[in-house]
Chain A
Amino acid sequence: MKAIPVEAGLILAGTLFMLGLISVLIRRNIIFMLISVEIMLNAAGLAFIVAGARWGQPDGQVMFIFILTMAAAEVSVGLALILQLYHQLQTLDGDAANKMKG
C-alpha cells in the first residue's frame, strides 16, 4: 500500500460523485434519483476514508459510519415517500411532480 497517491483516491471519489451527479440530473425515475444520491453519498464517504487514511486517523472512518447511518435513514424515509407518491400519481416520473411552480 505504498504507492497509492492521495490524489488517486480523491479522484476516484470525485469521479463517482460526478457520476452520481450526472445520474441525478438525467434520471426522471425517482427511485433512480434516490439511488444516484446514494452513489454520491457513498463517494463522499470514500473521500473521507481517503482523507482519514492520509492522516492515519480513525475520524474519517467514523464519519463514514455516520454517513452510512444517514444514508440508511434517508433511504428509508425516501422510499416511504416514493411509495406514497406512487399511489397518488401512479408514476415514478420525477418531472410529473411539478404541481407547484411559479
Chain B
Amino acid sequence: MEKYLWLVPALPFAGALILILGSGKLTKGISGFIGAGSVGLSAAISLVLGLQFLREPATVIQQQLWSWFSVGGLSTNFALHLDALSMVFIFVITFVGFLIHLYSIEFMHDDDGFTRFFAYLNLFVCSMLILVLADNLVLMYLGWEGVGLCSYLLIGFWYKEEKNGYAARKAFIITRVGDTAMAIGLFMLFQTFGTLTIQEILNLAPQRLPMGSETGTIIAFLLLGGAVGKSAQLPLQTWLPDAMAGPSPVSALIHAATMVTAGVYLITRTFPLFELAPLAQNWVGIIGAVTLLIAGFSALTQFDLKRVLAYSTISQIGYMFLALGVGAYSSAIFHFMIHAFFKALLFLGAGAVIMVLHHEHDMFKMGGLKDKLPVIFWTFLIGAGSLAALPFITAGFYSKDQILWMALASEKGNIWFFLAALIGAFVTAIYTFRMVFLTFYGEEKTHVGHPVGALITIPLVILGILSFAAGFIELPHTLGHFTLFSDYMTAVVPATELSPGIESTEWLIQLSAAVLCLAGVGIAYFFYMKRTDLRAELKSSMIVTNRFWYSGWGFDQVYDFVFVKPYVYLSSINKNDIIDAFYKGIVSVSNFFHDAFARTQNGVMRWYIMGIVVGAIFVLSIGLLFQ
C-alpha cells in the first residue's frame, strides 16, 4: 500500500485535470462521479493507510516522486512524507472531503458551473494533501498556495456577483500576507540549516538553534505569520467571514474543516522550532486566546447563519492555537479532527437550510424548521452541541475540555489562557444555541422549498455520528482515561508536560466548563425562546458594543483605513506615474530651447550678421582670455 501513497493526492488531481479539460463536454452525472469518485478512492487509500498507522503509529512513509529543482545547496524534491500527524490530516481531508463531494453533487446540481465546481474542489483536495504530505517546506508552500488559490476560486465561485469576487480577493491577499512572512521564514531556515527538508531541519534544529535564540525566535514568528494568515487568526482573521460568499460545501470543506487548519498543521509540524523559541510559542497561545474571544463575541451578534459559523470557526481554531501555544499538540490535533467533523456538519446543515429557504441567509428570517427538516435539524443539533461542547455526550466536549485543561495545567499554560478559554466556551454555547433556536424554533417565516435528498442527508448523518462519537477515542483521566488518540500522536509529538501537582484540579475544571456551557445554553434559551421581547432592549442597550462586535471588532475598518485606502489612494494619484513627469519635463525644456533658438532664426539678414559679429567677439575674447 505504501507505494501507492502518491495516488492520494494524484487521484484528486487527475480528477481535477479531467474535469478542467472536459469542462463543457461532460455531463453533470459524470462530473460528479469523477469528482466524488476520485476523492473517494483517495479516502479509501488513506483509510487503508490509516489502519496501518493505527497498528503502528510510528510508521513513516517516504516517497520521492521527482526532483523539483536543485540549485546551489538547495535541493527540493517532489517528495511525500507520511507520518502519524499527516495521517490524521489526510484522513480528515479525504474522508470529510469525500462526504462533502457527495453532498455537493446534490447541492450544486442546478448550478451552471457544476463541473467547474468539482474541478476546483478536487484541485483543492489535491493541494491540501500536498500541503500535509510535503516532505519539504517548498513543496508544502506549493500546497499552501494551492489551497489559497482554490479558496480564492471557490469563494468567488459565483463570479457574477461582484462582491464575491472582492471577498475572494480579500481572502487571497490577506492570506498572502501571511504566506509572505512564511516565505521569509523559509529563507531564514535555508540560511540557517542549508536545507528545506522538514525532517532534516527538525533534526538539526536543536544543534543549530540554541534555546531562545534570536534567529530561532524570528523564524518561529515568521512561520507563525504564515499560520496566522491561513488559519484566520488575529490579526489576519478578517477574510474568513467574508469568505462565506462561497457555496456552503466550500465553507464546510475549506473554511472550516481543512484549509484553515493548515496553520495548526504547520505549527505542529515544526513544533521543535517553536519549542526552541518559547517567546514565539507563548505568542501562539496569546493569539489563540485573544482570537477565540474576539471571534466568539463577534459571533454573538451576527445574523447571517454562515457568518456565525465563520466566526465560530475562527474561535475554534483559536482554541487549537491556544493548545499549540501551551504545547498540547495532540490536543490541538484532536480538536482539529473533531472540529472538522462537527463544523463540516454545521456548514453542510446550514447550507441545506439556506438552500431549502431559497438562499436566505438571515437567521431572523428563519425559524420553525425543526419539524419541516427533521434530519437536518437533528444532525445540526448534534453539531451545535458538539460545538458548544455539551458535556459528556458530544465529541466537542472531550476535545475542548482537554484544551481547557491544558491551558491551565500545562507547564506553558497559565490562568489567563484558561480564563480566556473558559469565557470562550461560555460565549460559544450562547451563540451556538442562539443560532439553533433562531433557525429551527419559533414560527416559520420563510417558505420552505423542496426537501433535501439522500446525497445531502447521508453525509449529514455520517458526520453527525462522528461528531457525536469521535470524542470517545480520547477520554480524560477523570472520565475513564482512554488515550487512544494521544497515544497515537506521541509517535510524532511529545506529550504535554504538565505543571507539577495540578492533576488533582482537573475535575474542577471540567465541572466549571460544563456548568458554563449549560449556562450559556440557558441564556440563549432565555433570550431567544422565552423572552424574545427582551432582545430588542438588550440590543439597544448595547448598541455600540453590538455594532463593534458585529463588525468583527473593527479590524476591517482599521485595515481599510491603515492599509487599503492609503494603498489605493497612493496608487490612484500616481496612476500616470510621477516619474514620467520628469521625462516630460525634459521634453518641455527641450521644446523651450527649441522655441528660444527658433526665435533667433527670424529671417532678417542683419540679425544674422549680428550673430556672426557676436561670434567673432566671442572667439577673440576666448583668444585673449586663454592665450
A positions within 8 Å CB-CB of B: 21, 24-28, 33, 94-95, 97-102
Please choose the segment from B314-322, B352-360, B595-603 that sits at the chain A interface, where 4 or more of its residues have CB less than 8 A away.
B595-603
Q: Are A95 and B613 interface neighbours, CB within 8 A?
A: no
Q: Does B606 contact A (CB under 8 A)?
A: yes
Q: Are B603 and A101 in contact (CB under 8 A)?
A: yes
Instruction: Give the chain A neighbours of B606 by CB distance below 8 A.
Output: 24-28, 33, 94-95
List 5 tightest A-B contacts by C-beta distance, closest first: A98-B603, A101-B603, A95-B604, A98-B604, A101-B602
Interface residues of B (CB under 8 A from A): 598, 601-606, 609-610, 613
B610 contacts which chain A residues (CB < 8 A)?
A: 25
**Distance (Å) between the CB of B617 and the closest chain A CB?**
11
Supplied contacts A33-B606, A94-B605, A95-B605, 20 more A-B pairs, CB within 8 Å: A21-B613, A24-B606, A24-B609, A25-B609, A25-B613, A26-B606, A27-B606, A28-B606, A94-B604, A95-B604, A95-B606, A97-B603, A97-B605, A98-B602, A98-B603, A98-B604, A99-B603, A100-B603, A101-B601, A102-B601
Can you list 12 A-B pairs, Cβ within 8 angstroms, ordered by A? Answer: A24-B606, A24-B609, A28-B606, A33-B606, A94-B604, A94-B605, A94-B606, A95-B606, A97-B605, A98-B605, A99-B603, A102-B601
**What residues on B are CB-neighbors of A94 within 8 Å?**
604-606
Shortest Cβ distance from A102 into chain B, in angstroms? 5
Q: Which residues of A contact B613 (CB under 8 A)?
A: 21, 25
Chain A contacts of B601 at CB under 8 A?
Answer: 101-102
The B contact surface, by secondary structure, is helix
State the CA gap A57–B605 with chains docked (Å).
38
**Assembly CA distance A99 to B604 (angstroms):** 9
Q: How far is the CA of A97 from the CA of B603 in the complex (A)?
A: 7
Q: Please indicate the chain B residues that have their CB under 8 angstroms from the CB of A100 in the complex.
A: 603
Alpha-carbon distance A25/B613, docked complex (angstroms): 9
In the assembled complex, the Cα of A27 lies from the Cα of B604 at a distance in Å of: 12
Cα–Cα, bound, A35→B293 (Å) = 105
A21–B614 alpha-carbon span in the complex (Å):
12
Q: A33 — which chain B residues lie within 8 A by C-beta?
A: 605-606
Closest-by-CB residue of A relative to B600 is A101
CB distance from A31 to the nearest CB of B (A): 13
Across-interface contacts of A25 in B (CB, < 8 A): 606, 609-610, 613
In the docked arrangement, what's the CA distance between A101 and B604, Å? 8
Q: How far is the CA of A94 from the CA of B608 in the complex (A)?
A: 12
* Complex-state Cα separation, A27 to B610, whole angstroms: 12
Q: Please, which residue of chain B has its CB at the minimum distance from the CB of A18?
A: B613
A99 contacts across to B, CB distance below 8 A: 603
Name the A residues within 8 Å of B605 (CB-CB): 33, 94-95, 97-98
Chain A residues with CB below 8 A from B604, complex form: 94-95, 98
**Are A102 and B598 neighbours in the complex by a CB distance under 8 Å?**
yes
Could you tell me the distance between the alpha carbons of A94 and B602 in the complex, rounded to whole angstroms? 13
- Minimum CB–CB distance from A46 to chain B (whole Å) comes to 19
Contact partners of B603 in chain A: CB under 8 A:
97-101
Report the Cα distance A71→B204, complex, angstroms: 101
Residues of B within 8 A of A98 (CB): 602-605
Provide the residues of chain A in CB contact with B609, threshold 8 Å: 24-25
Residue of B nearest to A97 (CB): B605
**Smallest Cβ-Cβ distance to A27: which chain B residue:** B606
Query: Closest CB of chain B to A12's CB: distance in Å?
Result: 19
Expressed in whole angstroms, the Cα–Cα distance for A21 and B602 within the complex equals 20
Docked Cα-Cα span, A97 to B605, in Å, equals 8
Closest chain-B Cβ to A88's Cβ sits at a distance in Å of 15
> How far is A80 from B352 in the complex, measured between Cα atoms in Å?
107
Whole-angstrom CA separation of A100 from B607 in the bound complex: 13
Q: Inside 8 A of B602's CB, which chain A residues have their CB?
A: 98, 101
Q: How far is the CA of A26 from the CA of B607 in the complex (A)?
A: 10
Chain B residues whose C-beta falls within 8 Å of the C-beta of A24 in the assembled complex: 606, 609
Give the docked Cα–Cα distance between A93 and B297 (Å). 96
For B610, the closest partner residue in chain A by CB is A25
Across the interface, name the chain A residue whose C-beta is closest to B606: A25
A42 to B474 Cα, complex, angstroms: 123
- Which residue among A25, A28, A97, A100 has the maximum number of chain B CB atoms within 10 Å of its CB? A25
Nearest CB in chain B: distance from A27 CB, A: 8
Query: What is the CA–CA distance of A98 and B598 in the complex, to the nearest angstrom?
Result: 14
B391 CB, min distance to chain A CBs, angstroms: 97
Q: A101 to B603, alpha carbons, bound, how many Å? A: 4
A102 to B603, CA, bound (A): 8
Chain B: minimal CB distance from A82 (Å): 13
Chain B residues near A97 (CB-CB < 8 A): 603, 605
Question: In the bound complex, what is the Cα–Cα distance between A25 and B601 (angstroms)?
Answer: 16
A26 to B602, CA, bound (A): 17
CB-nearest residue of chain B relative to A94?
Answer: B605
Which B-chain residue is minimally distant from A37 (CB atoms)?
B609
A95 to B608, CA, bound (A): 11
Closest B residue, CB atoms, query A21: B613
B620 → chain A, closest Cβ, in Å?
12
Q: How far is the CA of A99 from the CA of B602 in the complex (A)?
A: 9
Closest B residue to A26 using CB positions? B606
